[in-house]
């Protein structure tokens, strides 16, 4: 018997195949990711609804800099539900409970992926692009969760905006920032190449740890 679980798997398969066309690869069973030339990890995570949303599913979108500490497929930030990207005041969910509704959802999601999601990811493929997103209304949802300030500050460092990065750390909780005192001292002494070396070490670490 066809049910929402069947439809959910069908959507993951079909949309997953579409993501592959844009250079994304699968990670476990519900995630597709790619790493840009700018060392940005971009991924989507499929989510099946529960309780009153049991017959529906949605997608989480995430963008992380490999140069920042704490990169993980288990942390869905900076990012948010895809509805935030679609300029919606609420979550956007798609039905997967019947064959007909699943087919329609696949068409609708495919259109969103091709026309909105992938172009958005393309704009956010570098630290410079992410830095510009700080002031763009359509992209602010990426940074809505308070703890994303660590990634935000490291984006500034990678984009060469060292003093801005330090400012972001200090405005929040610098005690949560790995090597904050060292990076602040290096910034004050204009030893930017040494900061870049720290970022490169983070990139190498995450590539090895995540096997990407």
Q: What is the domain range of residue 169? A: 127-210
Higher pLDDT, 110 or 54: 110
39 neighbors 200 (Cβ within 8 angstroms) = no
Number of domains the chain is built from: 2
Residue 179 CA to residue 25 CA, distance in Å, equals 32
Residue 27 CA to residue 25 CA, distance in Å, equals 7
Residue 182 CA to residue 198 CA, distance in Å, equals 10
Do 44 and 64 belong together in one domain?
yes
pLDDT in tens, 45-90: 999 988 888 899 999 999 999 999 999 999 999 999 999 999 767 7
pLDDT in tens, 138-152: 898 999 999 999 999
Do 10 and 35 belong together in one domain?
yes
Do 72 and 143 belong together in one domain?
no
Do 38 and 82 belong together in one domain?
yes
Which of 65, 91, 123 terminates a domain? The answer is 123
Which of 71, 106, 123 terminates a domain? The answer is 123
Which of 89, 123, 157 terminates a domain? The answer is 123
């Amino acid at each position: 018997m066809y049910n929402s679980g069947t439809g959910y798997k069908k959507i993951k398969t079909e949309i997953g195949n579409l993501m592959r066309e844009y250079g994304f690869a699968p990670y476990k069973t519900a995630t597709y990711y790619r790493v840009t030339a700018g060392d940005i990890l971009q991924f989507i995570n499929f989510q099946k609804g529960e309780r009153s949303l049991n017959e529906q599913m949605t997608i989480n979108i995430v963008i992380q800099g490999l140069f920042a500490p704490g990169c993980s497929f288990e942390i869905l930030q900076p990012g948010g539900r895809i509805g935030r990207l679609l300029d919606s005041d609420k979550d956007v969910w798609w039905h997967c409970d019947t064959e007909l509704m699943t087919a329609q959802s696949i068409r609708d999601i495919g259109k969103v992926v091709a026309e909105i999601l992938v172009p958005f990811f393309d704009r956010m493929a570098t630290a410079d692009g992410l830095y510009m997103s700080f002031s763009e209304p359509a992209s602010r949802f990426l940074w809505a969760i308070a703890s994303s300030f660590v990634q935000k500050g490291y984006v500034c460092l990678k984009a060469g905006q060292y003093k801005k990065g330090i400012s972001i750390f200090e405005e929040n909780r610098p005690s949560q920032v790995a090597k904050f005192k060292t990076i602040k001292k290096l910034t004050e002494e204009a030893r930017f190449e040494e900061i870049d070396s720290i970022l490169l070490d983070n990139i190498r670490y995450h590539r090895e740890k995540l096997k990407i």
